Amino acid sequence: MVALLTRMLRPEAPVTVGTQLMDELGLSSSLALELLLEVEDELEIQIDVEDLDEDRMTTVGDLADYITQHSTPR
């Protein structure tokens, strides 16, 4: 997740599991969707976005946990 975010967003500071998605990385809703599609392609998984709650998705770690809990292999 960290490598993918770094590649997509090219942040000035290093990305860690505690990095704030919106505040520090400027991740918008459209970029978040693009990121999820990239993760699906790279990991060959399907992510269920039905329960995706942006308010609970504040850090890179939160996003990684969500993907782990809401994905299935293709």
pLDDT of residue 16 exceeding 90, the answer is yes
Query: What pLDDT does residue 1 have?
Result: 84
pLDDT of residue 57 exceeding 90, the answer is no
pTM: 0.86
Taking alpha carbons only, the member of 45, 42, 44, 65 closest to residue 53 is 65
Tokens of 58: 């504040």
CATH code, domain carrying 35 = 1.10.1200.10
| Domain count of the fold of the chain | 1
Helix (H) or strand (E) holding 47, with range, is: strand 45-47
16, 29 Cβ separation under 8 angstroms? no
What is the domain extent for residue 54? 2-10+19-73
What is the pLDDT averaged over residues 26-31? 87
